[in-house]
C-alpha cells in the first residue's frame, strides 16, 4: 500500500511537470496591430445637400497630409484610390510613420453620383478656387471646365478651402485621371513628385500640358506655397488596379514630408 502511494505521487508529479513544460513551450503569438481611430466629420454639403466627409486618422490632427479624391465626379478611380488608402491606413497605421493623414474620398459627391466632371451647378470645382490666375473669361460657360461667374462660388469649394485653412496641411495630394498619367506638382513639391515617380512610373512634371486657372494647385500650391501634388491616374485603368499601382507612391509621399 505504501509503495502504491509513493508510485502515485511520483506519477502525479511527472504529469504536472509535463503539463508545465507543455504550457511554457507553447508559442506566444504577437498581438495584432491596433487599427488607427478614424475620426469622421462632415466639412460641408454639396449643392444637392450630399455630405462632404473628412476622415482624420488618429483623431483631430494638425498639419496632416491631405489626400483628396473625385473633385471631378467622372474621374471615379480617384475616389477608389482615396478610399483604398483610407482603408489601408486604418488597418496599417504603422505605414503613416507618425505622420498624420486626413482623407476626403469624394470632394464632389453630386458629380460623382451623376458621373459628371462638374457639380450640380455645372461648375468645374477645380477651376473655382480664388487663385490669382482665376478669371471668369478663362473658360466659357458652355465648356466642361467653366470655373463659375465668380470664384469660390460653390459650397464644395468653400468647404475645401475652409478645411485647408484650418488644417494647414504639410502636403496635399489631389487625385485625378487623364490620358497621360503624371505626378504634377505645384509649389515646393518637386522632390515629392520625383519620389512618387520612382514608385508608380509616371513622370514628375510642373504642368499637365495646358493652363488650369482657378485650380486647387494654383490656389494652394502656387499662391500659398503648400506642397501640392495632382496625381493623374491613367483614365481607363480600373479602380482596384489604380490603387495597387499607386499605393506605394502615396505611402512614399507621406514618408518624405515627415
- Confirm whether 194 is a catalytic residue: no
Q: At how many degrees (to 10) do helices 190-200 and 239-256 cross?
A: 140
Residue 149, all three cell numbers: 461667374
Closest alpha carbon to 250 in 184, 207, 193: 193
Q: Is 255 helix (H, G, I), strand (E, B) or coil?
A: helix
Which listed residue (75, 154, 156, 232) is catalytic?
232
Residue 189's alpha-carbon distances to 39, 224, 231, 235, in angstroms, are: 27, 12, 12, 23
Q: How far apart are alpha carbons 220 and 159 in whole angstroms?
A: 14
64: CB partners within 8 A, 6+ apart: 56, 99, 100, 101, 102, 167, 169, 170
Closest alpha carbon to 83 in 45, 55, 116: 55
Distance between alpha carbon 210 and the CA centroid of its chain, in Å?
Answer: 25
CB 220 within 8 A of CB 172: yes
Residue 59, all three cell numbers: 483623431
Q: Is 230 helix (H, G, I), strand (E, B) or coil?
A: strand
Which secondary-structure segment (H or E) carries 184? strand 182-186
Q: How far apart are alpha carbons 1 and 3 in whole angstroms?
A: 5
**How many other CB atoms are found less than 10 A from the CB of residue 82?**
26
Catalytic machinery residues: 232
Amino acid at each position: 500500500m505504501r509503495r502504491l502511494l509513493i508510485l502515485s505521487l511520483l506519477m502525479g508529479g511527472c504529469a504536472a511537470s509535463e503539463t508545465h513544460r507543455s504550457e511554457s513551450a507553447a508559442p506566444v503569438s504577437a498581438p495584432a496591430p491596433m487599427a488607427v481611430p478614424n475620426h469622421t466629420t462632415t466639412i460641408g454639403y454639396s449643392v444637392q445637400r450630399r455630405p462632404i466627409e473628412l476622415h482624420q486618422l488618429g483623431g483631430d490632427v494638425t498639419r496632416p497630409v491631405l489626400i483628396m479624391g473625385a473633385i471631378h465626379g467622372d474621374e471615379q478611380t480617384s475616389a477608389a484610390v482615396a478610399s483604398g488608402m483610407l482603408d489601408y491606413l486604418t488597418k496599417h497605421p504603422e505605414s503613416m510613420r507618425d505622420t498624420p493623414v486626413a482623407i476626403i474620398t469624394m470632394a464632389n459627391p453630386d458629380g460623382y453620383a451623376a458621373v459628371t466632371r462638374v457639380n450640380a451647378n455645372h461648375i468645374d470645382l477645380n477651376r473655382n478656387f480664388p487663385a490669382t490666375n482665376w478669371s471668369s473669361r478663362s473658360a466659357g460657360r458652355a465648356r466642361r471646365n467653366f470655373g463659375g461667374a465668380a470664384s469660390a462660388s460653390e459650397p464644395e469649394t468653400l468647404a475645401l478651402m475652409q478645411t485647408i485653412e484650418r488644417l494647414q496641411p504639410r502636403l496635399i495630394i489631389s487625385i485625378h485621371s487623364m490620358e497621360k498619367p503624371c505626378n504634377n506638382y505645384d509649389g515646393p513639391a518637386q522632390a515629392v513628385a520625383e519620389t512618387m515617380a520612382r514608385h508608380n512610373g509616371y513622370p514628375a512634371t510642373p504642368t499637365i500640358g495646358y493652363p488650369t486657372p482657378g485650380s486647387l494647385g494654383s490656389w494652394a500650391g502656387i499662391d500659398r506655397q503648400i506642397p501640392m501634388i495632382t496625381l493623374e491616374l491613367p483614365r481607363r485603368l480600373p479602380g482596384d488596379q489604380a490603387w495597387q499601382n499607386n499605393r506605394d507612391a502615396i505611402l512614399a509621399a507621406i514618408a518624405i514630408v515627415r
